[in-house]
Amino acid sequence: MIPKEIKSYFPILNQEVNGHPLVYLDSAATSQKPIQVIEAVSNYYNLDNSNVHRGVHTLGNRATDSYEGAREKVRKFINASSTQEVIFTRGTTTALNTVASGYGRQNVKEGDEIVITYMEHHSNIIPWQQLAKEKGAVLKYLNLEPDGTISLEKVREIITPKTKIVSMMYVSNVLGTINPIKEIARIAHENGAIMVADLAQAAPHLKIDVQDLDVDFAGFSGHKMCAPTGIGVLYGKKALLEEMEPVEFGGEMIDFVGLEESTWKELPWKFEGGTPIIAGAIGLGAAIDFLEEIGLDNIAAHEHKLAGYAMDQLDTIDGLQIFGPRDPMKRCGLVTFNLDDVHPHDVATVLDMSGIAVRAGHHCAQPLMKWLQVSATARASFYMYNDEADIDRLVAGLRSAKEYFGDVF
Amino acid sequence: MSFNNLDQLYRSVIMDHYKNPRNKGALEENSVTIDMNNPTCGDRIHLTLKLNDGIVEDAKFDGEGCSISMSSASMMTQIVKGKKLDEALELADIFSKMMLGEDFDDEKYDLGDVEALQGVAKFPARIKCATLAWKAMEKGVNNENK
């Protein structure tokens, strides 16, 4: 169960927007931050701020302990086998780019294949598109089933011994679909390919076990899981990270510098050039403590329930089309939809005037929009702090939007 | 629910242009083509202009987008037709000022339907919707004016 007082942990939710109590339904874009995270960051700046792994002084030690302590929290959170496999990045985009320009450049050759899907976020398309262009490799897109899910049969067809990298999102930011990445990783490995998982929409909502999923690399962002913006994680299997060259040079990642040759620190610092995002990492550690206190299983169950309720309620609106699988157990807590004749931007503006925040646009997934044959959609996404009353407000807002646009036409 | 502030955004003349766009389609012969999109939201416009002897002889647009972007495109094509190139550019400048809530010369041109878009200035998230077509026109005319 989600505690009743959950909203009280999120100070931002307690406000009026355009004369109405705020209903925040845009957590898939970024989640709100609980007071526990805000305090962890402000305590760090008030008491411990210092650079890490450098100073002999006390503040430096405190900052280093907190920063590395956060790494251990992340390790446990995703069940990595060692903190050497946990690299702090700016977010999922940086994590995926690091894999493409590090592992990808070293291992992909002309004629090799990289497999992604039509539902990917731009951040899990373009790094591979660029790599394929540079190397003369082939980028293959896995087609989706009509309900926006993935068929393992088609996965078996598209992955071949020529495939070097398979990269896929665990949870779709548009369709909400939870993809069978564990099975897909097995198929990738049978064909000698590595499996990269985009966990951006999964880590906030589902219990992640990278060893059980057996993915080779994974990336996620702190800001979608109650942590500050600007901090994220690249997970990689140690053996692969050891072989991989750094992609950013200088600062924190340096071991010894000569005039002609230099050497790097060991993992994970080899991939953390420059002064790291210390406050962000500490905030992420606090967010993980918070999520674990609430319980990831509770969060997932709450969201399945809300997704089911939202779809049932949205279905009562004439001319509303829902995208993605209808079984709430096959999806996370978000619903993407379009309202007949009313463009999603107009829907979002009308809802905003009622204090309801939703996302409208292509959700950084233009190939998926093309696949869905729409130019844009509206999306309501939920987190632990949303409840049925929020969805009732959304449905009432959509009815007014329909009425409003019906009247003016 | 009452939406008084929404009425500033969605005036009936805007809705009329959205539902019955003027100059929809594409010019085929001797025309300048500009494709532009709004990367944050996916709105896109395909604008064709017939520029002759320093005059915008004809303009048509095609595209996908919200009521604000498509009605603005419709109004833009309506007002620039028959204007000299530098007048068209001046109108784009006036429109941009209108969107930013800055002072502009409202005497020089009869802005007609375009004035209905003034309310967009109060909705910062929607200004880019309104300016897309005008930016496309500016680009097309500027290329010709070089």
Please give the pLDDT value at position A409: 47
Asked whether the predicted pLDDT for residue A338 surpasses 70, the reply is yes
Is the model more confident about B122 or about A387? A387
Asked whether the predicted pLDDT for residue A389 surpasses 60, the reply is yes
Query: For the segment A110-142, what is each residue's pLDDT rounded down to a tens digit?
Result: 999 999 999 999 999 999 999 999 999 999 999
Nearest partner of B14 among B56, B73, B93, B61, judged by Cα = B73
pLDDT band for position A404 (50/70/90)? Answer: confident
Query: For the segment A260-306, what is each residue's pLDDT rounded down to a tens digit?
Result: 999 999 999 999 999 999 999 999 999 999 999 999 999 999 999 99
- A324-328, A359-363, B3-7: least confident range: B3-7
Share of chain A above pLDDT 70, in %: 99
Q: Is B5 on the interface with A (CB under 8 A)?
A: yes
The residue of chain A nearest to residue B37, with distances taken between CA atoms, is A375
pLDDT band for position B40 (50/70/90)? Answer: confident
Distance from CA of A376 to the nearest CA of B (A): 6
Please give the pLDDT value at position A407: 59
Query: For the segment A24-34, what is each residue's pLDDT rounded down to a tens digit?
Result: 999 999 999 99
- Average pLDDT on A365-371 reads 92
Q: Is B41 on the interface with A (CB under 8 A)?
A: yes
- Average pLDDT on A379-387 reads 98
Q: How far apart are CA B113 and CA A137, in angstroms?
A: 52
Instruction: Tell me the chain A residues in contact with residue B3 when contact means C-beta distances shorter than 8 Å.
Output: 350, 353, 400, 404
Please give the pLDDT value at position A293: 97
The full length of chain A comes to 409
The mean pLDDT of chain B is 91
Question: Residue with structure tokens 């003034």?
Answer: B118
Residue B41 to residue A376, Cβ atoms within 8 A: yes
Report the residue from B1, B40, B123 with minimal CB separation from A361. Answer: B40
Q: How far apart are CA A374 and CA A33, in angstroms?
A: 32
The answer to whether the CB of A79 falls within 8 A of the CB of A211 is yes
User: How does DSSP assign chain B, residue by residue?
Assistant: ---HHHHHHS-HHHHHHHHS-TTBS---SS-EEEEEEETTTTEEEEEEEEEETTEEEEEEEEEE--HHHHHHHHHHHHHHTT-BHHHHHHHHHHHHHHHHT-----SSS--GGGGGGGGGGG-GGGHHHHHHHHHHHHHHHHHHH-
Instruction: Tell me the chain A residues in contact with residue B5 when contact means C-beta distances shorter than 8 Å.
Output: 18, 353
pLDDT band for position A60 (50/70/90)? Answer: very high
pLDDT band for position A83 (50/70/90)? Answer: very high
Share of chain B above pLDDT 90, in %: 69
The answer to whether the CB of A365 falls within 8 A of the CB of A174 is yes
Distance from CA of A174 to the nearest CA of B (A): 14
- Average pLDDT on A78-88 reads 98
Most confident of A190-199, B1-10, B14-23, B63-72: A190-199
> What predicted TM-score, i.e. pTM, was given to this entire model?
0.92
Query: For the segment B73-129, what is each residue's pLDDT rounded down to a tens digit?
Result: 999 999 999 999 999 999 999 999 999 999 998 888 999 999 999 999 988 889 999
Asked whether the predicted pLDDT for residue B1 surpasses 70, the reply is no
Q: Is A364 a catalytic residue?
A: yes
Query: For the segment A150-178, what is each residue's pLDDT rounded down to a tens digit?
Result: 999 999 999 999 999 999 999 999 999 99
Nearest partner of A400 among A60, A33, A31, A20, judged by Cα = A20
Query: For the segment A11-54, what is each residue's pLDDT rounded down to a tens digit?
Result: 999 999 999 999 999 999 999 999 999 999 999 999 999 999 87
Asked whether the predicted pLDDT for residue B72 surpasses 50, the reply is yes
Instruction: Tell me the chain A residues in contact with residue B40 when contact means C-beta distances shorter than 8 Å.
Output: 361
pLDDT band for position A317 (50/70/90)? Answer: very high
The residue of chain A nearest to residue B3, with distances taken between CA atoms, is A353
pLDDT band for position A102 (50/70/90)? Answer: very high
Residue A349 to residue B126, Cβ atoms within 8 A: yes
The mean pLDDT of chain A is 96
Q: Is B21 on the interface with A (CB under 8 A)?
A: no
Residue in A364, A374, A376, A396 annotated catalytic: A364
Please give the pLDDT value at position B8: 77
Residue A349 to residue B6, Cβ atoms within 8 A: yes
